[in-house]
Structures are given as structure tokens and as C-alpha cells.
């Protein structure tokens, strides 16, 4: 089972990298870039068969290690 | 209403959530002649909290000596300023960022560095050195490793990126910080004496300009956000941790320094704690004028920000300035060049009020004097804690034959081992002016394009302060003074970062009062005044306060860099001598703590006359080129100091000491002492000079190739010492 | 000699290298803002160290899109000597003037310390004076990598400029500070007029800073 995890900064937390990327895209002529937020993408291959228990474990992994819950949010997607 | 004596319309819990007491709120109502609205309440809360108002500490801080012939600006501005000759000044301050660093160590420490950098470049100085003073809990505590890695990462992440070298600092571990670490950051900058910028606003009608990053909902106080006013969209309104953006700060630094070359800035203030609130009020109060701000003009990062949020946001990398109106366009161009926000958000007025509007609606109108002069000031009740008594140790319990084993144990202990793992993560050489790198007594940084330098050291011994706050306060000041002397510099002034528990507890207040008294005595005697500082109270967890920690950052001047001194042994066959009296004081020592696992006995006392005499002698000799290496004797005593000299110089020693209580002599922490390496030929002459100056001077051995040797005790390889000294951090953090 | 130092937002070794060049050549370089589009006639172009654009996205990636870089690439192709140090090396790689990639240090932490390098190729103008030299590194992403095909190519063309070594010149594992493939500390382009290197010779160009080995690199091409 393949889990895809996206980790992003929480909505109101400043994302310096995002703003720099947005400005750079604008200066390269890409108009209409309103906002850029950057984050991390992690793939985890699990030997679980049960989706519910996998999600539970993945939540735990995110909260314990993968995401910094003080400033980041995460989302888990399972194929 | 939760209490019958509460006679106001405003909800009592709202007031309490803003950290204000009933009598303080009553004072606000009397001053305004009405009850404040929510925005005004937020402003009072920010201005009258301990951090901004110094309400518990002000009375005592006034007792510290703050003047001297080299003091250009003492406490009260963004940073202190001292004269370092030739029209140059050094601008410096140390500040705490303890609580944010405990919550999110990387960002907390990073924004701490960012904040202190802004304090220094706001005054027109280019920052040239960062230092820090860090305290963590017991290494065995489950949080310590995570906090250590995060804090070191954050300090490095910010300083390395902005390109200011982190040249020194100190790190201690003690269980009293298990639930409350201390992150104190210091910055030193260099400016021209006739180009210092201050915060007093002036010129009625002049534009008030906002520059830097946009304002978001960063760091707005949690308790206040839970109030009824903020029910919609509540997930979005949670307080957020401030994230440091060193890249933007670098742009802000360059833009500000570029603008400062022009005669355009009338007043400037960084937006630190309580951002727009404290900066605007500070500028108005110092200039004895009013300020009017249209909050809808503030550059915003988030949608629908309220006046309350805009005033209390602690978004980083922002500045407020009053500009000469004829230079506004020129200034705008500079900030545009650096891709930074530049917005005229208000003007200087003659009303002596802070008036805020938003979308043409008045949001606040407060006379400045109520906020500043009428701010509460307390003389808190205090009790002076009895200093821990002298404990007579039984010499038979100490085994002189174990000295080398004890040495290895101590030199590899978290509190005495090498901090290389830390400083290798800090760029300590950028700007190409670092003359003495981390690891010596004081860091030395060249004043760019000259042959002079400044020596900087941070220090404090909380255990000393806990067991005798008066002597501990003295010691913190003296230790930096001694470090600066040992590097060949003339000590000039200090900044202090006072970290204590809850001042409402008389015994904590007693620690504060006694530390201040000790510091004041040392500063006066050594002509080493305080020019800036910061107080951090309420460092407690579950009612347990931290050890009293008055961290000191000292700055000195080396007029000729060829006189710079380091601790590393330079050659074989030199003599090793001790300067200053040894009285075998083992109380509260690292030896007892590490080897015997005991925290007992009295704090060593300092005879300031002796200190001054020995220090002057050492500096004199350094300037006359008579020493090869110098190290002050501090934590761990003589043998630890000598081992460090040996380790950094990769040279051995051969000690021949004829004393009965060898363990006490080698590990005792008597004060006012230095170890020096001298060439054999100059021994007789130095002995005579020391006698003439009534300075105790004694030869204890000589240097040799690669063995660290004590006569009649044994020897170990220097390489073995190095291994022991450098291994702990790597092992701990792996 | 006419030299130019490119300044990006976030550059922080621009002043340091300018001081070194002035001390050695007697002439201060011209500082060129990244938003410019052309550089005047030049004998040497320096892309300095620092954190251009905060190292956000990828080190050097955003700086390589700056207007001035088109002219840097053009002049490099015309044979003008170009040197990129630390972040400058990263920018030259992102601009495709040099081969390879600079990954995160193997230790996953920033490293600031003195190291030793030796020149692998004494035929380029940058490396002809340097045998073994001590100087600092200060970076987070200096772990050099190329594919095995490319490695063979740059080896065959003698494009490896410097390798990390010990004080006696032994190129071995303990002397590799960041995990770089083959201890590579600096590489040249095929024509040998473009050099990228992680170590900072400009921080080791005065005795008072602890070491002046860095001078030899400058002296080889500054006259």
C-alpha cells in the first residue's frame, strides 16, 4: 500500500520560500501568480492491508515525526 | 462578571486574559476617562506587561552603573553604544527569546537572532558579530536533545543566511531548565559616532513609514484570541508561531543602511515584541509628540485583519521610521530596489496621542503619557535568601591519585566539553574579520579596514547565583571581564540579560535584587558599566523557577590587533605560571558536581581589588608582549583551564606542584586567577614585576611535546584529552 | 586588471571577495547588481558566496534566473574567466556553466571549519599556483555529485580543479567534509575558464585571519 503525504505550513504561518518563489515566477513573466506555498511530499510504502489502520498509523507518524505540528499541517492520501 | 467588586462594563475575564490586574485596569479607565475598547485594551496589555514596561525590575535596574567615559548611549534605546576610538562606536545588546524557543526551538531561536540584529542595525550599525548564552535541561531529560538541535539549528539558520558571523557564546545543562530553556542572543555592530540613529519622533506632519515584510497573524497572544470577539473562522485565528525570514532581514539590513547614508531618517524603531504598538508608542513618547496611523494602509499578509490584530501582530522583519518628507521618494526607491514593502501609514502629530483609524473609523485614541509614564511600577516584596554555607570537605574522601581520571571525566562532561559540534554549524568566519574564533576566552572581531578589534564574551554561572545571588551576580560580570582581559583587550561595558522566575514570589525577587547588587558592585569597581539589557521573568514550570541566570555579554577593545592573545599553548619548553591566589575552594565546583555528584558548599567570593590588580597586570604584560598564551581559570579550576590550553595548542605539559591538597588545588574554583605560558627567559623579570605590583605569581610547570603529565601522579596523551573533550555532543545528538 | 563581482539579494561574501581582490591586485572590483543586464569589459567575473534568495527552492536556482546571468553565461562562453565560490558555485551549476549538482552535506548539517584542498589540475589559470592549501568551508549544500558518465567525462577532460585532502595531501575519506563524490571541492568547465569551488579562499587570504593559503589561488589569475 502506497501512502502519499503532503506537508505544508499552516495557513497563517509565514512562508518565506513561497513568497520568494512567487516573486521569481512573476519576474520570469508568469503573470497571474497570486500566491505560492511550498511544502514537502513524502511517499511511504506500507505492508498494511487495512486502510483504516494504515491511516491511523500514518497520522501518528505525521504527528510524531514527519510534520512539525506547531507550524505545519499534513494530509494523507492512500492508493 | 465573575467578581462582585468588578464595577466595569468590560468583561473581567477578558481583562484578566490580557494579563491586567483590577487596579491596573482601574488606572486605565481613570486615565482615559472611559473604559477602553478591545483594541485599546490590547495596546495597554502589550505596553504594561512585564516585557515592555519592566514594571517589577525598573526600580532595581536604576541602581546599576550606566555611565562612563566611553559610554555614548546607555540603557533606554534599542541598544547600548560605546566609543571605540577614531570616531567609531560599538553598538550591542543581548535579549532573551526563552518561551518561543521552548515551544518551537528552531523558529524561536531564529527569530531571537533576527530581533536582536534589528535592535542593532536600527541604530545605524552594521552587525559584525552574533553570540549567545544557552541553557538546557538535564541531558537525560527526554526533551533536551530535540531542544538543543532545534535551537542550534535556528541560530545557525538565521545567522548563516544573513551573513553575520556567530563567533561565540556559552551553553550549560542543568535540570532547573528542564521545563524552561533559556535562549539569549547578543549582537554587536559597528557604526560611526556621528551617524547613530535614535527612536525619538520629531517634526509635526512628517510621514510615519512602514518598511519590511507584510503583517500577518504571527504571535498574537493566545489567551486574548479566545475572547468572544473572535468567533467566526476560529481555526484561522489561532495564534501562530513567528517564522524567521533571514533573507528578508538581509534585504532590510542593506536597505536601511543604504538609506542611513542619506540625511533622510528622523527616527527609526524596529517592530519587535508587540510590533506596531510598542514601536509607534516608543517613538512618540521619546519625541514627546503624537502619532496618527491609518491601519488600512499597513501591508497585510492575511485577509480581514482587524485593528487589534494589526497592532499586536509580532510578524518579523519590519521597521517603523519617521522620514524627512522631502526624502520620501528617494527612500521609496531604495526599498523598492530591495523588493521590500514601503508604505506611509501615518504622520507625526502635536496631540501627544496615539490615534488609530481604519477604513475612516477611529479604532483607538490614547494619550501617550498614560501608556508610558503612567505605566505601573512595582517595588515587589523580596526576601534575601541565606547564601549556602561553606562546607568543610574531608580531604581523605578525595583521592589525589585519581586526578587524571577525574580530569578526563570532567573534560568530557556536557558542561565542560568542547562546543565544537555547535560552532561548526555556525558560520563564524563570514565577513572575513574573525581574528579569534570560538573556543578561546573571548571572540575577537576586527573592526573592518582597521588594525583594531573588539573582544566579546558571554557568561554566567547560575549555580553560583543560586547559592549566593550577590556573589553570583558579581561573578557573571567579572567572568566576562576576565575573558576579555585574557584576550588582550580593555574591557569597556556590558549588556545584561536577566533570566529569573516569578517576581511575585519574594524569594525570586530576592535573587533578582541580590544579583543586581552584586553586578552593580562589580561594574562600579571595574569601571565596566551596563549599557543595555533585557529582563525575562516568569521562567518557571509547575511553580518551580529556573536558577537565577543573569547572563552577561561584555565588550572590550584591542587597539592593536598584534596584541591579541589566545588560550592555546604555543611551543614546547615554555613555563606555565599561575597568576592570583589559590585557596582550594571546592564549594559549588564542577569537580563536586561532576565527580562527586554533589551540589554543596558556598559560592566562591570575589575580592574586586584583587581582581582589578591581577587583571591590570595581565593586560599590561600582554600589551608588552610577555605572554605566549593566557587563559582565565574558571569552571572546573586550574587543571581544566590547563587542559583546554593543551588541547587547543596540541601541546603537552609537565606539572611539578608541591602542595598537600592537590585535588583541591587543581580543581578549586578560586577567583581572579589566570594561567599563562611564558618563555623561560622572561620568568625572572616577570616575577620581579609581579612582586612590585603585589600580584601572586607562581611557576607550576613547563610545556612539552604530547604528554599531559603531573609529577608523582601520572600522565596521559594530549590526543586522549582531545578525544575525551570532543566526543560528547556528537554522541548525544546522533 | 578589471574585475566584476555580481551581487544578488542575499549575497553575503561579496564584500569579502572584493577586499581580497583589491588587496592582491590593487584595484577594487566593480560591484554589479543582479538586475543589470550587461557587464562591462571584464578580465574576471566573480559570483560570490552567500544565500542568494535565501537558498529558497534550491540553492542558486532563483539567482540563476536573474537578468545579469545571461551576460555572465555569454561572457563565460566567450572565454572571460569566471569564478563562483560556495553559493556562487551553486549558481554556476544552476546556470549550466558547470557540470554536476551540489547536494545537502552528508552530515545533514551546516559545516564551518578549515579543510585542506589540493589542485588536481595545474593547467588552468585558477589552479596553477596551488598545491596543498588550507582554507575554510561554510555550507549546507556542498556535497558534489555527478553521474558516472559525466564523472568519466570531467575526469577525461581534466575538469576536476580541487579535491579535499588531509594536510599531507592524501585524498581520503576522513578528509572529505561533506560526502562529495571523489572528494571533489571544485570543478572547471571544459574550456577551463570557469571555476566553481565550495571552499572560501577569500577568508584565508591574510595571515591575521589564521591562514593565507587562499592567496595563492587569487595570485594565479590576478595580476
Check CB contact of C53 with chain A, cutoff 8 Å: yes
Residue B377 to residue B371: CA distance in whole angstroms:
12
- Among the ranges given (B311-315, B417-421, C216-220), the one the predictor scored with the smallest mean pLDDT: C216-220
Query: Does C86 qualify as catalytic in the annotation?
Result: yes
Q: Under CATH, what is the fold of the domain A2-78?
A: Mth169; Chain: A , (3.30.1280)
Which residues share a beta bridge with B364?
Answer: B356
H-helix or E-strand containing B492?
A: strand B490-499
pLDDT tier for residue B223 given thresholds of 50, 70 and 90: very low
Mean pLDDT across B558-578: 97
Q: What pLDDT does residue B232 have?
A: 43
Which residues share a beta bridge with B555?
Answer: B456, B493
- CA-nearest of B554, B549, B577, B594 to B728 is B594
What phi and psi values does residue B525 have, to the nearest 5 degrees?
Answer: -65, -40
In A, minimum Cα distance to C56 occurs at: A17
Here the CATH number for the domain that contains residue C23 is 3.40.50.880
Partner-chain contact B250 C112, CB within 8 Å: no
Query: Crossing angle of helices B608-623/B469-486, nearest 10°?
Result: 10
Contacts of B423 in chain C (CB under 8 A): 112
Q: What pLDDT does residue C78 have?
A: 96
Query: Does C158 qualify as catalytic in the annotation?
Result: no
Mean pLDDT across B91-95: 98
Check CB contact of C62 with chain A, cutoff 8 Å: yes
pLDDT at B57 over 70: yes
Domain that holds residue C125: 3-222
pLDDT tier for residue C223 given thresholds of 50, 70 and 90: low
Contacts of A11 in chain B (CB under 8 A): 236
As a whole number, the mean pLDDT across chain C is 94
Cα–Cα distances in angstroms (integers) from residue B183 to residues B51, B111, B493, B714, in the given order = 15, 11, 21, 41
The tens digit of pLDDT for each residue in C1-16 reads 899 999 999 999 999 9
Contacts of A14 in chain B (CB under 8 A): 213, 216, 218, 242-243, 245, 301, 315-316
Residues near B364 by Cβ (< 8 Å), separated by ≥ 6?
Answer: B37, B39, B40, B43, B307, B311, B354, B355, B356
Which residues share a beta bridge with B83?
Answer: B89
Mean pLDDT across B52-80: 95
As a whole number, the mean pLDDT across chain B is 94
Do residues B521 and B474 lie in contact, with contact meaning Cβ atoms separated by under 8 Å? Answer: yes
Q: Report long-range pairs for C219-223 (Cβ below 8 Å, ≥24 apart).
A: C219/C24, C219/C129, C220/C125, C220/C126, C220/C127, C220/C128, C220/C129, C220/C130, C221/C44, C221/C81, C221/C83, C221/C125, C221/C126, C222/C1, C222/C3, C222/C21, C222/C24, C222/C25, C222/C44, C223/C1, C223/C25
- List the grid coordinates of B725: 573533550
E strand map for B514-570: 530-536, 540-541, 544-545, 549-558
Contact pairs from chain B to chain C, CB under 8 Å:
81
Q: What pLDDT does residue B668 have?
A: 96
pLDDT tier for residue B67 given thresholds of 50, 70 and 90: very high
> Could you say which of B156, B432, B437 has the minimum Cβ distance to residue C110?
B156
Q: What pLDDT does residue B218 have?
A: 86
What phi and psi values does residue B212 have, to the nearest 5 degrees?
Answer: 115, -135
| Ranges of each domain in chain A | 2-78
- The ipTM assigned to this model is 0.96
pLDDT at B646 over 60: yes
This prediction's pTM: 0.94
Q: What pLDDT does residue B1 have?
A: 44
Residue A55 to residue B95: CA distance in whole angstroms:
44
Mean pLDDT across B278-283: 95
pLDDT tier for residue B58 given thresholds of 50, 70 and 90: very high
Residue C214 to residue C202: CA distance in whole angstroms:
6
Residue A10 to residue A12: CA distance in whole angstroms:
6
H-helix or E-strand containing C84?
A: strand C82-85
Q: What pLDDT does residue B262 have?
A: 93
Partner-chain contact C65 A20, CB within 8 Å: no
pLDDT at B425 over 70: yes
Partner-chain contact A17 C62, CB within 8 Å: no
Neighbours of chain A (3+ CB pairs under 8 A): B, C
3-state secondary structure of A6: strand
Residue B181 to residue B178: CA distance in whole angstroms:
7
- CA-nearest of B144, B149, B150 to B173 is B144
* Buried/exposed code over B467-485 (b: 16+ C-beta within 10 A; e: otherwise): bbbbbbbbbbbbbbbbbbb
Number of domains in chain C: 1
The tens digit of pLDDT for each residue in C71-128 reads 999 999 999 999 999 999 999 999 999 999 999 999 989 999 999 999 987 778 888 8
Q: How far is C117 from chain B (nearest CA, A)?
A: 18
Q: What pLDDT does residue B224 have?
A: 45
- List the grid coordinates of C134: 588550507
Partner-chain contact B432 C51, CB within 8 Å: no
Residue given cell 490614547 in the structure block = B366
Partner-chain contact C112 B432, CB within 8 Å: no
Do residues C204 and C85 lie in contact, with contact meaning Cβ atoms separated by under 8 Å? Answer: no
| Displacement of CA A51 from its chain's centroid (Å) | 20
Please list the helix, strand and coil fractions of chain C in percent, rounded to the nearest 5, in that order: 30, 25, 45
Q: What pLDDT does residue B228 have?
A: 34
Exposure of B360 in the CB half-sphere (CA atoms within 13 A): 0
Quick one: DSSP state of residue B234? G
Between C121 and B564, name the one with better pLDDT. B564
Partner-chain contact C57 A16, CB within 8 Å: no
Q: How far is C54 from chain A (nearest CA, A)?
A: 8
pLDDT at B225 over 60: no
Angle CA B118–B122–B123, to nearest 5 = 130
Check CB contact of A71 with chain B, cutoff 8 Å: yes
The tens digit of pLDDT for each residue in B124-154 reads 999 999 999 999 999 999 999 999 999 999 9
Do residues B62 and B517 lie in contact, with contact meaning Cβ atoms separated by under 8 Å? Answer: no
pLDDT cut 90: percent of chain B above it: 88
Burial class (CB in 10 A: 0-12, 13-18, 19+), B315: buried
- List the grid coordinates of B218: 504571527
Residues near B633 by Cβ (< 8 Å), separated by ≥ 6?
Answer: B578, B580, B641, B669, B670, B673, B674, B675
First to last CA, chain B: 54
Amino acid at each position: 500500500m502506497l501512502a502519499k503525504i503532503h506537508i505544508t505550513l499552516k495557513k497563517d504561518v509565514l512562508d518565506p520560500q513561497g513568497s520568494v518563489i512567487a516573486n521569481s515566477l512573476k519576474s520570469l513573466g508568469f503573470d497571474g501568480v497570486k500566491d505560492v506555498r511550498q511544502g514537502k511530499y513524502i511517499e511511504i510504502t506500507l505492508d498494511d492491508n487495512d486502510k483504516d489502520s494504515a491511516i491511523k498509523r500514518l497520522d501518528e507518524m505525521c504527528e510524531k515525526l514527519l510534520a512539525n505540528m506547531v507550524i505545519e499541517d499534513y494530509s494523507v492520501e492512500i492508493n | 462578571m465573575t467578581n462582585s467588586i468588578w464595577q466595569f462594563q468590560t468583561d473581567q475575564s477578558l481583562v484578566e486574559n490580557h494579563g491586567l490586574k483590577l487596579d491596573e485596569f482601574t488606572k486605565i479607565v481613570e486615565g482615559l476617562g472611559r473604559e477602553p475598547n478591545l483594541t485599546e485594551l490590547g495596546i495597554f496589555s502589550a505596553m504594561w506587561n512585564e516585557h515592555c514596561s519592566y514594571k517589577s525590575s525598573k526600580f532595581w535596574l536604576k541602581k546599576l552603573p550606566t555611565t562612563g567615559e566611553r559610554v555614548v548611549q546607555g540603557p533606554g534605546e534599542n541598544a547600548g553604544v560605546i566609543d571605540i576610538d577614531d570616531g567609531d562606536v560599538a553598538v550591542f545588546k543581548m535579549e532573551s527569546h526563552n518561551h518561543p524557543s521552548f515551544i518551537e526551538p528552531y523558529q524561536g531561536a531564529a527569530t531571537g537572532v533576527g530581533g536582536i540584529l534589528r535592535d542593532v542595525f536600527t541604530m545605524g550599525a552594521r552587525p559584525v558579530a552574533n553570540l549567545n548564552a544557552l541553557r538546557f535541561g538535564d541531558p537525560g531529560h527526554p526533551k533536551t536533545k530535540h531542544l538543543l538541535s532545534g535551537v542550534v539549528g535556528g541560530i545557525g539558520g538565521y545567522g548563516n543566511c544573513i551573513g553575520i558571523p556567530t563567533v561565540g557564546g556559552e551553553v550549560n545543562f542543568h535540570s532547573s531548565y528542564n521545563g524552561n530553556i533559556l535562549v539569549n542572543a547578543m549582537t554587536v555592530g559597528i557604526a560611526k559616532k556621528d551617524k547613530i540613529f535614535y527612536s525619538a519622533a520629531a517634526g509635526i506632519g512628517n510621514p510615519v513609514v512602514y518598511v519590511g515584510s507584510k503583517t500577518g497573524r504571527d504571535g498574537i497572544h493566545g489567551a486574548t484570541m479566545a475572547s468572544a470577539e473572535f468567533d467566526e473562522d476560529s481555526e484561522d485565528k489561532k495564534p501562530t508561531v513567528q517564522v524567521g525570514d533571514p533573507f528578508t532581514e538581509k534585504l532590510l539590513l542593506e536597505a536601511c543602511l543604504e538609506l542611513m547614508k542619506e540625511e533622510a531618517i528622523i527616527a527609526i524603531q524596529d517592530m519587535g515584541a508587540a510590533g506596531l504598538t510598542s514601536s509607534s508608542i516608543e517613538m512618540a513618547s521619546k519625541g514627546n509628540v503624537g502619532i496618527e496611523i491609518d491601519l488600512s494602509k499597513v501591508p497585510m499578509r492575511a485577509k480581514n485583519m482587524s485593528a487589534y490584530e494589526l497592532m499586536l501582530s509580532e510578524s518579523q522583519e519590519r521597521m517603523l521610521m519617521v522620514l524627512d518628507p522631502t526624502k520620501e521618494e528617494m527612500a521609496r526607491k531604495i526599498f523598492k530596489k530591495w523588493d521590500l514593502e514601503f508604505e506611509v501609514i501615518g504622520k507625526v502629530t502635536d496631540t501627544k496621542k496615539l490615534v488609530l483609524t481604519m477604513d475612516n473609523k477611529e479604532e483607538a485614541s490614547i494619550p501617550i503619557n498614560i501608556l508610558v509614564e503612567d505605566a505601573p511600577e512595582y517595588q515587589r516584596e523580596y526576601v534575601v535568601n541565606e547564601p549556602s554555607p561553606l562546607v568543610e570537605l574531608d580531604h581523605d574522601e578525595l583521592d589525589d591519585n585519581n586526578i587524571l581520571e577525574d580530569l578526563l571525566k570532567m573534560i568530557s562532561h556536557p558542561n565542560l566539553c568542547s562546543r565544537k559540534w555547535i560552532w561548526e554549524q555556525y558560520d563564524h568566519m563570514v565577513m572575513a574579520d574573525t581574528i579569534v574564533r570560538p573556543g578561546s576566552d573571548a571572540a575577537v572581531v576586527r573592526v573592518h579596514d582597521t588594525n583594531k578589534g573588539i573582544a566579546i564574551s558571554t557568561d554566567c554561572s547560575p549555580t553560583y547565583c543560586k547559592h549566593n545571588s550577590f556573589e553570583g551576580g558579581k561573578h557573571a560580570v567579572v567572568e566576562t571581564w576576565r575573558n576579555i582581559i585574557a584576550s588582550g583587550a580593555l574591557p569597556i561595558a556590558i549588556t545584561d540579560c536577566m533570566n529569573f522566575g516569578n517576581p511575585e514570589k519574594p524569594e525570586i525577587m530576592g535573587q533578582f535584587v541580590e544579583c543586581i547588587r552584586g553586578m552593580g558592585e562589580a561594574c562600579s569597581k571595574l569601571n565596566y558599566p551596563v549599557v543595555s539589557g533585557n529582563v525575562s521573568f516568569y521562567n518557571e514550570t509547575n511553580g518551580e523557577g529556573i536558577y537565577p541566570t543573569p547572563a552577561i555579554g561584555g565588550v572590550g577593545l584591542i587597539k592593536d590587533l598584534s596584541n591579541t592573545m589566545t588560550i592555546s599553548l604555543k611551543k614546547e619548553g615554555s613555563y606555565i605560571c599561575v597568576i592570583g591566589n589559590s585557596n582550594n575552594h571546592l564549594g559549588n565546583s564542577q569537580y563536586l558536581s561532576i565527580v562527586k555528584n554533589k551540589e554543596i558548599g558556598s559560592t566562591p567570593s570575589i575580592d574586586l581589588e584583587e581582581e582589578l590588580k591581577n587583571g591590570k597586570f595581565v593586560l599590561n604584560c600582554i600589551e608588552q608582549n610577555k605572554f605566549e598564551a593566557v587563559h582565565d581559570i574558571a569552571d572546573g579550576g586550574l587543571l581544566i583551564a590547563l587542559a583546554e590550553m593543551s588541547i587547543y595548542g596540541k601541546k603537552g605539559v609537565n606539572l611539578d606542584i608541591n602542595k598537600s591538597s592537590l585535588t583541591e588545588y587543581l580543581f578549586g574554583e578560586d577567583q581572579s586567577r589566570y594561567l599563562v605560558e611564558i618563555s623561560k627567559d622572561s620568568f625572572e623579570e616577570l616575577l620581579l614585576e609581579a612582586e612590585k605590583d603585589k600580584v601572586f605569581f607562581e611557576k607550576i610547570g613547563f610545556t612539552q611535546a604530547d604528554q599531559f603529565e603531573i609529577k608523582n601522579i601520572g600522565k596521559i596523551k594530549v590526543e586522549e584529552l582531545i578525544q575525551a573533550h570532543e566526543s560528547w555532543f556528537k554522541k548525544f545528538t546522533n | 586588471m578589471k574585475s566584476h563581482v555580481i551581487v544578488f539579494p542575499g549575497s553575503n561574501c561579496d564584500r569579502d571577495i572584493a577586499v581580497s581582490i583589491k588587496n592582491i591586485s590593487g584595484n577594487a572590483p566593480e560591484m554589479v547588481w543582479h538586475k543589470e543586464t550587461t557587464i562591462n569589459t571584464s578580465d574576471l567575473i566573480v559570483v560570490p558566496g552567500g544565500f542568494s534568495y535565501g537558498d529558497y527552492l534550491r540553492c542558486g536556482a532563483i539567482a540563476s534566473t536573474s537578468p545579469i546571468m545571461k551576460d555572465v553565461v555569454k561572457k563565460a562562453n566567450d572565454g572571460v574567466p569566471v569564478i563562483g565560490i560556495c553559493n556562487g558555485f551553486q549558481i554556476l551549476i544552476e546556470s549550466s556553466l558547470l557540470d554536476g549538482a551540489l547536494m545537502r552535506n552528508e552530515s545533514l548539517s551546516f559545516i564551518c571549519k578549515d579543510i585542506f584542498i589540493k589542485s588536481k589540475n595545474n593547467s588552468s589559470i585558477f589552479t596553477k599556483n596551488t598545491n596543498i592549501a588550507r582554507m575554510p568551508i561554510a555550507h549546507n549544500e556542498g556535497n558534489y555529485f555527478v553521474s558516472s558518465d559525466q564523472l568519466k567525462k570531467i575526469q577525461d577532460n581534466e575538469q576536476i580543479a580541487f579535491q579535499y585532502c588531509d594536510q599531507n595531501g592524501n585524498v581520503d575519506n576522513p578528509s572529505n567534509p561533506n560526502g562529495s563524490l571523489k572528494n571533489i571541492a571544485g570543478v572547471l568547465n571544459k574550456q577551463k575558464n570557469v571555476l566553481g569551488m565550495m571552499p572560501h579562499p577569500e577568508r584565508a587570504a591574510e595571515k591575521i585571519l589564521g591562514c593565507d593559503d587562499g592567496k595563492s589561488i587569487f595570485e594565479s589569475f590576478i595580476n
